[in-house]
């Protein structure tokens, strides 16, 4: 029998149904030690091997009207230099577990868009409001020194973004961004190293808050899946840009 890469505590029927409920009502779920400790350690080591391959990524999204300024290691580089990180993505048990949580049939993303490593370093990085093209995102915090609320670098989420947009259809995106701040629609998640957040990438508006100090950093591994039933409204080139290819 193949040993699960997921922490066994999350594979029990009761845990699965609790996580499923939370994911489907909130649009996201945060899990401590989601991967087995040796798998997490392995992923951290792989990042060290890959870290010289990070590239600066400076981008304005016309669709979201926001900026992104960070470093990334894209899917094709990861695949070439650290194929085992792709094997974790391809793990069938992980896929089935995610399908039972999301209640959907998940499929691989096109080409190199299955995964990316994001590196935010210093206080000049920007990661503005956006939704992803992909239905389900698994975001693992590999390393950080910003898990206390005063330092920034948190993941900010607006689960009911589309209903807010619908209700306020006369407003443009920047006006909507102001509205979500003043009306307190934003959930702030300070992920600690080894924590995972799984969220509805194409539904939940999200951004990363600016870090405060020069020595602040956060490194995340993102895996993305499409839902076989979701209709695509966003063109592929947006996602290519998002994923640093």
Site for Fe ion, rule CB under 5 A: 132
In the chain, DSSP assigns E strands to 28-31, 55-61, 66-73, 106-108, 115-121, 126-130, 136-144, 155-158, 187-189, 196-200, 205-208, 217-227
Q: How many residues bind ligand AKG (CB under 6 A)?
A: 10
Does 203 bind ligand AKG (CB under 6 A)? Our answer is no
Query: With respect to ligand AKG, which residue has the nearer C-beta, 18 or 124?
Result: 124
* Closest distance of CB 168 from ligand AKG, Å: 23
Residue 208 binding result from ligand AKG, Fe ion, none, given CB thresholds of 5 to 8 Å by partner type: ligand AKG
In the beta sheet, which residues pair with residue 200?
136
Residue selected from 135, 155, 196, 205 as contacting ligand AKG according to rule CB under 6 A: 155
Residue 139 binding result from Fe ion, ligand AKG, none, given CB thresholds of 5 to 8 Å by partner type: ligand AKG
Binders of ligand AKG in range 38-57 (CB under 6 A): none
Structure tokens at 222: 């993102």
Query: With respect to ligand AKG, which residue has the nearer C-beta, 21 or 203?
Result: 203
CA distance 198 to 139: 6
Binders of ligand AKG in range 161-190 (CB under 6 A): none
Residue selected from 43, 208, 211, 239 as contacting ligand AKG according to rule CB under 6 A: 208
Residue selected from 142, 146, 211, 222 as contacting ligand AKG according to rule CB under 6 A: 222
CB-nearest residue to Fe ion: 132
CA distance 69 to 56: 8
CA distance 65 to 245: 20
Task: Select from 220, 157, 124, 216 the least CA-distant residue to 23.
Answer: 157
CA distance 243 to 239: 6
Residue selected from 43, 50, 78, 242 as contacting ligand AKG according to rule CB under 6 A: 242
Binders of ligand AKG in range 56-85 (CB under 6 A): none
- Residue 175: helix, strand or coil by DSSP? helix
Does 156 bind ligand AKG (CB under 6 A)? Our answer is no
- Residue 87: helix, strand or coil by DSSP? helix
Task: Select from 9, 17, 5 the least CA-distant residue to 43.
Answer: 5
Does 30 bind ligand AKG (CB under 6 A)? Our answer is no
* Closest distance of CB 150 from Fe ion, Å: 24
- Residue 86: helix, strand or coil by DSSP? helix
**Binding residues for ligand AKG (CB under 6 A):** 118, 127, 132, 139, 155, 206, 208, 220, 222, 242
């Amino acid at each position: 029998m193949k040993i699960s890469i997921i922490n066994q505590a999350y594979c029990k029927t009761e845990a699965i149904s609790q996580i499923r409920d939370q994911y489907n009502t909130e649009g996201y779920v945060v899990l401590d030690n989601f991967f087995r400790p040796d798998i997490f350690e392995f992923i951290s080591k792989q990042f060290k091997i890959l870290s010289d391959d990070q590239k600066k990524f400076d981008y304005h999204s016309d669709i979201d009207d926001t900026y992104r300024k960070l470093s990334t290691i894209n899917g094709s580089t990861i695949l070439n230099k650290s194929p085992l990180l792709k094997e974790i993505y391809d793990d069938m048990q992980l896929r089935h577990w995610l399908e039972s949580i999301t209640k959907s049939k998940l499929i691989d993303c096109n080409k190199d868009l299955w995964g990316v490593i994001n590196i935010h370093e210093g206080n000049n990085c920007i990661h503005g409001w956006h939704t992803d093209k992909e239905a389900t995102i698994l975001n693992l915090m590999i390393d950080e020194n910003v898990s206390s609320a005063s330092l920034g670098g948190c993941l900010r989420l607006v689960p009911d973004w589309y209903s807010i947009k619908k209700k306020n259809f006369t407003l443009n995106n920047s006006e909507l961004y102001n509205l979500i701040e003043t009306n307190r629609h934003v959930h702030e998640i300070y992920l600690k190293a080894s924590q995972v957040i799984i969220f509805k990438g194409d539904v939940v508006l999200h951004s990363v808050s600016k870090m405060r100090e020069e020595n602040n950093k956060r490194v995340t591994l993102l895996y993305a899946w499409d839902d076989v039933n979701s209709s695509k409204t966003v063109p592929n080139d947006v996602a290519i840009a998002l994923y640093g290819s």
